[in-house]
C-alpha cells in the first residue's frame, strides 16, 4: 500500500511560524482577555500540528502567511480585536478545523462577517485579476462592501510581496506586483497608509524592473554617509531655534522611497544627482489639542525665517485636511549648498493618523471602522463605476502624492472638496442630485460660468437652476466625477422609462378607442423591422412625440391585415385584378348591389378565397375592394373595427377563372409519397400545381401546396383524393 505523503512545514518554516506566533501573542495580549488568549493559543497550536496541507499552490507556507498578516496589521495599522481574530480564525475555518457556527458563537457575528467578506474577495483575487476585466470588476466591488476588508487585503498584499522575492514563477510574480502597485498601493494611499503604499510600490518596482531598483538602491547606499551628514547640518540650527521659542518636538530625517525617486527621475528626465529632494525632514510637535495648529504655524515661521521658502511647494493640510484624514504642513526651503529640502510639520496625533491612516483617525474620532466616513462614499463611487475597463478604473483610483483636490465655497460659506478636474456640473451634483439635474450654469466669483467651467481652489460657486432643466446625454462629456456620471445615467434612464410608460399608455388607449387588440409578439416583429433593438426606445419616442401614435396603429393594422407570407407561397402570380374598363360579363364577382359591378378588386392574400367560398368585400384606402373569406382569421377584427368599409360580395355564377388555394399536408416521410400527391393533382382536370415546399423532421414531412383551382368544389375533391395516398395523415386548407 502506497504511503500517503503529508505536506508539512520544513524545520526553518516551523521555527519561523513559532516565532511569529510568539510575537503575535505579545501583540494580542492587551487586546484579548486571558480566556480568549488561551483559546486562540490552542487554535494556533492545532493548526501547526495538524495534517492539513501546509503550503498553498505556489509553495508558500499558509500558517506563516496568516500569522504575518495579523502581525503586520497590528503593527502597521491597528491591533483591532475583531479584525485580528478574523484573519487568524479564517484559516482554521478554511481548513475545516472549526466550523462557522462555532466562530459566531464563540467570537461573535462580526468576526464571521469579516471572514465572509474575505471569502467573497478570494473568489476573484486569483492574482491575475488586475489583467482580467471581469475578475477585476468582481474584486473591487466586493472590496467596497466593508472598508475593513479593503485594509486586510492591502496588508495581505504587502505580506505576499515581501515573501515572493526570487520566486521561480516569474510571470506570476509580475502579475502580483502589477496588482499590488495598480490597486492595493493606490487604495493604501487613499486610506492614508503611506508606509504600506511606499513599500508596495518599492517592491513592485523591484519585481518588475529589478535593474533600475538595484541601481537606485546602490547609489542611495553609496551616498548615505554624505546625506546623513547634510541632514544633521540642516537639523541642528533648526532644533536650537525651535527650542528657543519653547516648542516640544522630535525631528526625523528620512530618505524618500526608491519608487518615488524613480518616478521623479522619469518625470524630470534627470539622473539621481539631479533630484533635489531625495529626503524629507519631519518635525513632530508635542502639542496640546487646542494649540496644535498654532504650534505648527509657529514652527513653520521659525523655519522660513532661517531658510528661503519656495511658495509654489507649500502645502497646507492643517487648515483643510485631506479626505483620508491626513493633516500636515509642508514647506520646501533652500538649505545649505543651495539644495532644496522638504520639511513637514505635524503633531503627535497628526503623525499617528498619517502613519496609520483612517484606522487611527477613527480612534481619535471615537468611532469604528464601519465605512460611514465620507471617504467610503467616495471610494464606492469610484469602485463601482467599472464600465470603462480595469485600466481606466485603476487610473481613477490613483491619486497624485499631493492630492489633486480643489476646495470651493458656496455663497453661504460652506466648503466642499472635489477632484482636481471637477466642473460646475460636478459641483452641483456633489451638493445634491436634484441641484445637479436642474443646473444651467453658475456664478463663480461674481462671473457667469458655463457647466463645463473647471473649479479652482478658493472659488465661490453659486449654482443656477431652471425648473424645466433635466440631464442630457452630452452632460456625460462634461462631468469628471463618478458620482455625477452615475447620477446623470440614472436620471437619463429614469426619463426614458417615464417617456416609454407614457408612450405605451397612449398607444394602448388609442388602440382601445379604435377597438384594436395589440398582440405583443406582432408588435415586437414590427419594431424589429423598423430597426429598434429595444422596445423601450420605441415607446420612449412615442412618449416624447417623435412618433405619431395614429400612424403606428395604422402600420400595426396593415401588418395584421396583410401578414407576411411564407417562402412557399407565391401569392403575386395569383393576384387577380379587375378594373372598370373590362366588361361586367367577364366578372366572376358581383360586389354590392346587383347593379354595381366592374369595381377594382383583389383577393386578399391572408385567406386566398376561391370560387364558391363564403366571402365579403373590404374597401381599402386606395378604393380597391379586397375580397376575404368570412372564415378569414382577420374577418372578425375587420368587421368589428371597420363595419362602414365592409361591402357585400357574391360570386356571379361564372366559373373558369383559376384562383390560388394553399393546402397543408402532413404525412410519413416515405419514398414516393410526394410523387403520388403531385400525380393526383396533375390528373385533376383544370387544377394546376403552382408551388410546393416540403420540410422533413423526425420521420414526418410538412408540405405546403399552392394549387390553382376553378372553385371550392374542385378543391374539396382534390383534398379527398390526397387523403387516400398511403402515408398521408392530414390535409387542411391554409
Please tell me the predicted confidence (pLDDT) of residue 156. 93
Q: Which residues contact 439 (CB under 8 A, 6 or more apart)?
A: 424, 425, 428, 429, 451, 463, 464, 465, 469
Long-range contacts of 36-44 (CB under 8 A, 24+ apart): 39/106, 40/85, 40/88, 43/88, 43/89, 43/92, 43/97, 43/98, 44/88
Q: Say which CATH topology domain 11-217 has.
A: Hypothetical protein af1432 (1.10.3210)
Average pLDDT over residues 104-117: 88
If one compares 560 and 287, the residue with the highest pLDDT of the two is 287
CB contact at 8 A, 638 and 691 = no
User: For position 573, what pLDDT does the model report?
Assistant: 31
pLDDT at 375: 46
Tally the residues of the chain. 734
What's the fold here for domain 659-733? Alpha-Beta Plaits (3.30.70)
Based on C-alpha coordinates, what's the Rg of the chain?
A: 41
3-class DSSP state of 642: coil
Residues 281 and 231 sit within 8 Å (Cβ to Cβ): yes
Quote the pLDDT of residue 344.
93
Superfamily of domain 218-365: Beta Polymerase, domain 2 (3.30.460.10)
Which residues are CB-contacts of 357 (< 8 A; sequence separation ≥ 6)?
77, 188, 191, 192, 193, 194, 324, 325, 326
Domain ranges of the chain: 11-217, 218-365, 490-561, 572-651, 659-733
Closest CA to 223 of 262, 264, 279: 279
Residue 419 exposure: Cα atoms within 13 Å on the Cβ side: 24
β pairing state of 700-709 and 688-697: antiparallel
Residue 191's pLDDT is what?
73
d(CA 609, CA 282): 99
pLDDT category at 369 given cuts 50, 70, 90 is very low
**Helix, strand or coil, per DSSP, at residue 615:** strand
Note the pLDDT of residue 142. Answer: 52
Alpha-carbon span 383 to 216, nearest angstrom: 34
- pLDDT tier at 360, thresholds 50, 70, 90: low
Chain segment 51-63, per-residue pLDDT in tens: 777 888 888 999 9
Q: pLDDT per residue over 496-541, tens digit each?
A: 888 888 888 888 888 888 778 787 777 888 888 778 877 888 888 8
| pLDDT beyond 70 at 332 | yes
| pLDDT above 90 as % of the chain | 18
Q: What is the pLDDT of residues 276-300, one digit of tens each?
A: 567 789 999 999 989 999 999 999 9
Check if the beta carbon of residue 280 is closer than 8 Å to that of residue 344.
yes
152-189: pLDDT as tens digits: 889 999 999 999 998 999 988 988 898 888 778 877 87
Residues 635-641: contacts with CB under 8 Å, at least 24 apart: 635/607, 637/516, 637/517, 637/560, 638/561, 640/515, 641/514, 641/515, 641/516, 641/557
In SS3 terms, 269-308 reads as: CCCHHHCCCCEEEEEEECCCHHHHHHHHHHHHHHHHHHCE
pLDDT tens digits, 405-425: 777 888 887 778 787 789 999
The pTM score is 0.51
**Does residue 93 register a pLDDT over 80?**
yes
Strand partners, 406: 418
Amino acid at each position: 500500500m502506497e504511503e500517503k505523503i503529508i505536506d508539512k512545514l520544513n524545520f526553518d518554516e516551523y521555527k519561523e511560524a513559532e516565532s511569529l506566533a510568539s510575537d503575535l501573542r505579545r501583540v494580542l495580549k492587551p487586546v484579548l482577555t486571558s480566556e480568549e488568549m488561551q483559546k486562540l493559543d490552542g487554535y494556533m497550536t492545532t493548526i501547526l500540528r495538524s495534517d492539513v496541507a501546509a503550503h498553498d499552490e505556489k509553495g508558500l507556507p499558509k500558517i506563516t502567511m496568516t500569522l504575518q498578516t495579523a502581525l503586520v496589521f497590528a503593527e502597521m495599522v491597528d491591533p483591532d480585536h475583531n479584525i485580528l481574530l478574523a484573519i487568524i480564525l479564517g484559516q482554521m475555518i478554511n481548513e475545516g478545523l472549526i466550523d462557522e457556527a462555532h466562530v459566531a458563537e464563540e467570537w461573535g457575528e462580526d468576526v464571521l462577517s469579516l471572514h465572509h467578506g474575505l471569502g467573497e474577495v478570494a473568489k476573484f483575487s486569483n492574482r491575475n485579476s488586475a489583467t482580467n476585466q471581469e475578475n477585476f470588476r468582481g474584486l473591487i466591488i466586493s472590496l467596497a462592501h466593508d472598508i475593513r476588508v479593503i485594509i486586510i487585503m492591502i496588508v495581505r498584499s504587502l505580506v505576499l510581496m515581501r515573501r515572493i522575492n526570487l520566486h521561480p514563477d516569474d510571470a506570476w510574480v509580475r502579475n502580483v506586483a502589477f496588482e499590488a502597485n495598480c490597486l492595493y498601493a493606490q487604495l493604501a494611499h487613499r486610506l492614508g497608509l503611506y508606509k504600506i503604499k511606499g513599500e508596495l510600490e518599492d517592491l513592485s518596482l523591484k519585481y518588475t524592473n529589478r535593474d533600475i531598483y538595484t541601481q537606485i538602491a546602490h547609489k542611495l547606499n553609496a551616498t548615505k554617509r554624505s546625506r546623513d551628514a547634510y541632514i544633521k547640518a540642516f537639523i541642528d540650527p533648526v532644533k536650537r531655534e525651535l527650542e528657543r521659542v519653547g516648542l516640544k518636538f522630535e525631528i526625523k530625517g528620512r530618505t524618500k522611497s526608491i519608487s518615488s525617486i524613480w518616478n521623479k527621475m522619469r518625470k524630470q528626465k534627470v539622473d539621481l544627482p539631479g533630484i533635489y529632494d531625495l529626503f524629507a525632514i519631519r518635525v513632530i510637535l508635542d502639542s496640546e489639542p487646542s494649540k496644535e495648529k498654532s504650534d505648527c504655524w509657529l514652527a513653520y515661521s521659525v523655519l522660513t525665517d532661517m531658510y528661503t521658502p519656495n511658495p509654489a511647494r507649500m502645502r497646507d493640510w492643517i487648515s483643510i485636511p485631506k479626505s483620508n484624514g491626513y493633516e500636515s504642513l509642508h514647506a520646501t526651503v533652500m538649505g545649505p549648498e543651495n539644495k532644496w529640502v522638504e520639511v513637514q510639520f505635524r503633531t503627535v496625533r497628526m503623525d499617528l493618523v498619517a502613519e496609520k491612516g483612517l484606522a487611527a483617525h477613527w480612534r481619535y474620532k471615537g468611532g469604528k471602522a464601519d465605512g460611514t466616513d465620507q471617504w467610503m462614499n467616495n471610494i464606492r463611487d469610484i469602485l463601482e463605476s467599472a464600465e470603462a475597463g480595469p485600466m481606466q478604473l485603476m487610473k481613477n483610483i490613483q491619486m497624485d502624492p499631493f492630492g489633486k483636490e480643489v476646495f470651493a465655497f458656496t455663497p453661504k460659506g460652506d466648503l466642499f472638496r472635489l477632484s482636481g478636474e471637477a466642473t460646475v456640473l460636478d459641483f452641483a451634483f456633489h451638493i445634491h442630485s436634484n441641484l445637479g439635474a436642474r443646473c444651467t450654469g453658475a456664478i463663480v466669483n461674481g462671473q457667469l460660468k458655463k457647466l463645463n467651467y473647471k473649479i479652482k481652489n478658493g472659488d465661490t460657486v453659486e449654482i443656477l437652476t431652471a425648473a424645466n432643466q433635466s440631464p442630457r446625454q452630452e452632460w456625460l462629456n462634461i462631468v469628471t466625477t463618478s458620482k455625477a456620471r452615475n447620477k446623470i445615467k440614472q436620471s437619463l434612464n429614469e426619463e426614458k422609462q417615464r417617456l416609454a410608460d407614457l408612450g405605451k399608455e397612449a398607444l394602448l388607449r388609442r388602440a382601445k378607442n379604435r377597438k384594436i387588440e395589440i398582440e405583443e409578439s406582432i408588435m415586437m416583429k414590427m419594431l424589429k423591422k423598423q430597426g429598434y433593438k429595444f422596445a423601450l426606445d420605441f415607446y420612449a419616442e412615442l412618449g416624447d412625440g417623435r412618433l405619431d401614435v395614429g400612424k403606428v396603429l395604422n402600420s400595426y393594422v396593415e401588418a395584421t391585415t396583410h401578414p407576411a407570407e411564407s417562402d412557399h407561397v407565391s401569392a403575386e402570380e395569383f393576384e387577380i385584378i379587375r378594373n372598370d374598363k373590362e366588361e361586367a360579363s367577364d366578372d366572376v364577382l358581383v360586389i354590392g348591389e346587383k347593379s354595381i359591378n366592374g369595381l377594382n378588386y383583389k383577393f386578399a392574400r391572408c385567406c386566398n378565397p376561391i370560387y364558391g367560398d363564403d366571402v365579403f368585400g373590404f374597401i381599402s384606402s386606395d378604393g380597391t375592394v379586397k375580397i376575404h373569406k368570412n372564415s378569414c382569421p382577420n374577418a372578425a377584427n375587420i368587421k368589428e373595427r371597420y363595419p362602414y368599409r365592409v361591402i357585400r360580395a357574391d360570386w356571379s355564377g361564372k366559373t373558369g377563372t383559376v384562383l390560388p388555394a394553399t393546402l397543408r399536408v402532413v404525412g410519413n416521410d416515405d419514398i414516393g409519397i410526394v410523387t403520388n400527391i403531385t400525380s393526383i393533382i396533375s390528373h385533376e382536370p383544370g387544377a394546376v400545381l403552382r408551388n410546393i415546399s416540403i420540410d422533413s423532421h423526425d420521420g414526418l414531412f410538412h408540405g405546403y401546396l399552392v394549387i390553382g383551382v376553378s372553385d371550392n368544389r374542385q378543391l374539396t375533391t382534390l383534398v379527398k383524393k390526397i387523403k387516400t395516398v398511403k402515408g398521408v395523415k392530414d390535409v387542411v386548407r391554409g
